[in-house]
Every structure is written in C-alpha cells, then in structure tokens.
C-alpha cells in the first residue's frame, strides 16, 4: 500500500492553502464563540492534518478496492442516525459511537466520492448506457433520502451537486447532459413556483419560509430573514480593514447576539465584520485556489478514479463555499451549510482533511510531463 514517492512531487501548495484557511477559521471561531470551541477546532486541525499526511502516503488505488465497504459503511452510519440519532435544534444529525459524537452526513460526502471513483472507473466503457446511469442514480438515492430526512436539505443539495460533478468527470455524454438540463431547468422553475404557494406540500414549512424570506426580506425581517439581514449589515460594517479581531463593540454581530451560533453557518459574517473587505476577499480567494488546485491535480491524475477524487473534492469545497458565502451575503436563501475549513465543526473539518489526503496522493502519482 505504501509506495516510494519523491518529496518534490508532494503538493505543498495545497497543504499551505488548506492550513492557511483553517488557521483563519480557528481565529474566527475563537472570536465568535468561547475558548473551548476554539480549542476543539485546534484539535480538529491537528488530528485532521495527521490523517491527511498518513492517507496521502497510501496508494489510493489500493484503498479504493474497499469501495463497497465505503458505500455500505456510509449507509449504515446514516441509517443509525435515522434510527438512533441525537437531536439538536430540531434536527437529528448526530450519533455517538465509542464515546465520540459526530455527524455522518459530513463523512458521507467523502465516502461517496471514493465509492463512485472506483465504481465508475471499473465500468467507464459502459457509463453512457442506460443500465449504468440508472445504477449510479440508484446508488446515490438512499444517501440523499437519509440525509434529507434528518432534515438536512442543504447537505442533500451539496451531495447532489457533488454527484453531478462526479458523473461529468466520469465521462457522461455531452448529449445526455444537454438533455438533462433541457428537462431540469423548466422543471426547477415549475417546482419553485409551486413551493412558494401557501398550500404546497413538497417541502417543509420552515424551508418554504426561508425561501419566502429571501424573496421578501422586509416581510420577514423579524423572523426568518433576521439573521441574514444582520449578517450583511455586519459584513458591511467591517468596511475595508474591519473592526479588529475579537472586537468588544457591543453592537458587533457576536456581542450583540444578532446571529445565533455565528461560529458555524454565519462565520463569514464574523470575518467580514472583524477583518473587513480584505479579510473576506482573502477567505474567498483561498477557497477558490484550493478548488482550482484540486482541479489541476484532477487534470493530471494517472487514471479516471484519481480524476474523480480530486474533481469531486474541488466540487465539494467550491460549491459548499459558494453556498455558505451566498447565504451570509443574502445572495441565496438560508440553507444552513458550513464554510469549508473555516466554520466550527470537528466532523466537517476532519472529513475534509481526509478528502484532501486522498487528493494529495492522487497528486503524488500524477502523470509526469518531463
């Protein structure tokens, strides 16, 4: 499983980018919450970095032979959440195993990338047949359903988009993509027009209220739109340089309790307020650079499985980052998704580092052009 690698082939650039974004997140979490959460985030950074280093040195081609174990393990964990999960804030997303409390939906993203990387590569010649397209879709449905029922619509959307990226990189026909888009776009418009109706039953009432709050924020200013409106005011108040780290202004978003749990979904508001436009742009640029570096590795991967792993991580980090920042700046309805490597969350942070470990190993085995 371990191979001989050259140090110069190790993608230290990606490691530095990920570490820099995580350090910013650690400071932001320390300002948004108490010191205990910051210490937990630091421990997640250390543990995640260790796992990333170890995984990056193992041959991913060998590990991918366990792809059915990854898939079944993912379903078992999500099933345990469905049956015995712990509830918090009206959501059942956590389980405790061997004294460790974690969120399986975060780990599911990585396990599904690994599963599809091997499955698609084994059947790449048949991917554009009806049988294998149907199988790929059938395999993703149980995970989407179990995550949606937690309820966790935001993660369901992220996993669905990640699946689309995987299928595209896997080599699905452009004609099929065009056909799906031709059906999907008008269907999405019709569904959107339905879910904003008062008597709709497609989504839960609180999810509908979030969409309506996005469309008509002035009507929901004291309810569903409250956090997003305060978020954009906080970001704007930071101006160019921000109010300073761990500001003690009572009117700040964290001291004034204008946003509940700002260390998770609305961590970008804290960064915008305390580090200003410069700090906000730094975070956005780091997210983009990490996603682009993963895509660069995907382009140079030795095989299709490697390309899917790296591109899948790029899609996950890029889209989830866009979703989180879009919510905090009110470009999108409130979805409740975390900012990769920045928001507080041990499972999310460690899972992302595991994914980056696989990307680094893909990079170590990339095609050489010299």
pLDDT in tens, 315-324: 999 999 999 9
Half-sphere exposure of 319 (CA within 13 A, CB side): 20
At residue 256, the pLDDT reads: 67
The whole-number pLDDT of residue 288 equals 97
Most confident of 25-34, 71-80, 255-264: 71-80
Determine how β-strand 100-102 pairs with β-strand 91-97.
antiparallel
Of all residues in the chain, the percent with pLDDT exceeding 90 is 57
In this prediction, residues 231-258 reach a mean pLDDT of 80
DSSP H helices in the chain: 12-32, 35-56, 60-63, 67-84, 104-122, 130-148, 153-170, 174-195, 205-215, 226-237, 267-300, 304-328, 346-364
Query: With 60 as the cut, is the pLDDT of residue 145 above it?
Result: yes
Domain positions in the chain are: 7-364
Report whether pLDDT(225) > 60. yes
C-alpha closest to that of 266 among 232, 314, 290, 236:
232
Other Cβ atoms less than 10 A from the Cβ of 229: the count is 17
Give percent above pLDDT 70 in the chain.
Answer: 96
Report residue 255's pLDDT band, with 50, 70 and 90 as the boundaries: low
* Structure confidence at residue 370 (pLDDT): 45
Mean pLDDT of the chain: 89
DSSP symbol at 100: E
Residue 368 pLDDT > 70, yes or no?
A: no
Confidence at 1, pLDDT banded by 50, 70, 90: low
Burial 128-141 (b: 16+ CB within 10 A, else e): eeeebbeebeebbe
Mean pLDDT throughout 297-313?
95
Quote the tokens at residue 153.
């619509």
Q: Residue range 261-286: average pLDDT?
A: 92
Helix H or strand E segment including 101: strand 100-102
At residue 297, does pLDDT exceed 50? yes
d(CA 236, CA 325): 14
Tokens (6 digits) for 234 = 């906080």
Q: What is the pLDDT of residue 86?
A: 82
Those residues whose C-beta lies under 8 Å from the C-beta of residue 109, and which sit 6 or more positions away, are 155, 158, 159, 162, 316, 351, 355
Distance separating alpha carbons of residues 191 and 187, to the nearest angstrom = 6
Q: Does the structure show a pLDDT above 70 at 369?
A: no
pTM of the model as a whole: 0.92
Gyration radius of the chain's alpha carbons? 21
Distances (CA, A) of 140 to 12, 17, 109, 345, 356: 33, 31, 11, 25, 22
Q: Quote the CA–CA distance of 253 and 237 in Å, as a whole number.
A: 10
Identify the band that residue 2 occupies on the pLDDT scale cut at 50, 70 and 90: low
Average pLDDT over residues 341-345: 93
Q: Is the pLDDT of residue 167 over 70?
A: yes
Q: CA-to-CA distance for 300 and 343, rounded, in angstroms?
A: 30
């Amino acid at each position: 499983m371990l191979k001989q690698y050259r140090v110069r082939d190790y993608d230290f650039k990606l490691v530095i980018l990920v570490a820099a974004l995580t350090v910013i997140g650690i400071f932001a979490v320390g300002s948004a919450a108490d010191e205990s959460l910051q210490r937990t985030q630091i421990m997640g950074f250390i543990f995640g970095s260790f796992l990333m280093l170890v995984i990056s040195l193992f041959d991913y081609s060998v590990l991918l032979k366990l792809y059915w174990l990854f898939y079944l393990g993912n379903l078992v964990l999500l099933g345990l959440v469905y049956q015995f999960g712990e509830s918090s804030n009206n959501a059942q997303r956590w389980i405790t195993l061997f004294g460790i409390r974690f969120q399986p939906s975060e780990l599911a993203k990585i396990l599904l990338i690994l599963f599809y990387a091997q499955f698609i590569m084994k059947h790449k010649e048949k991917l554009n047949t009806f049988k294998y397209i149907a199988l790929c879709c059938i395999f993703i449905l149980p995970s989407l359903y179990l995550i949606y029922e937690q309820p966790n619509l935001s993660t369901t959307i992220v996993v669905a988009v990640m699946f689309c990226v995987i299928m595209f990189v896997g080599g699905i026909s452009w004609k099929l993509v065009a056909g799906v888009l031709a059906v999907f776009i008008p269907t999405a418009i019709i569904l959107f027009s339905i879910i904003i109706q008062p008597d709709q039953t497609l989504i839960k009432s609180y999810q509908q209220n979030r969409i309506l709050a996005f469309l008509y924020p002035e009507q929901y200013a004291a309810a569903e739109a409250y956090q997003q409106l305060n978020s954009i005011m906080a970001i704007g108040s930071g101006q160019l340089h921000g109010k300073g780290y761990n500001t003690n202004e009572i009117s700040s978003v964290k001291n004034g309790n204008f946003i509940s749990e700002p260390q998770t979904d609305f961590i970008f508001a804290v960064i915008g307020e305390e580090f200003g436009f410069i700090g906000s742009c730094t975070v956005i640029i780091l997210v983009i650079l990490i996603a682009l570096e993963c895509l660069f590795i995907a382009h140079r991967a030795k095989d299709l499985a490697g390309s899917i792993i790296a591109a899948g991580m790029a899609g996950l980090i890029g889209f989830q980052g866009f979703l989180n920042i879009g919510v905090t700046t009110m470009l999108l309805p409130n979805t409740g998704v975390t900012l990769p490597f920045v928001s507080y969350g041990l499972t999310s942070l460690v899972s992302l580092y595991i994914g980056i470990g696989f990307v680094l190993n893909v990079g170590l085995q990339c095609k050489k052009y010299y």
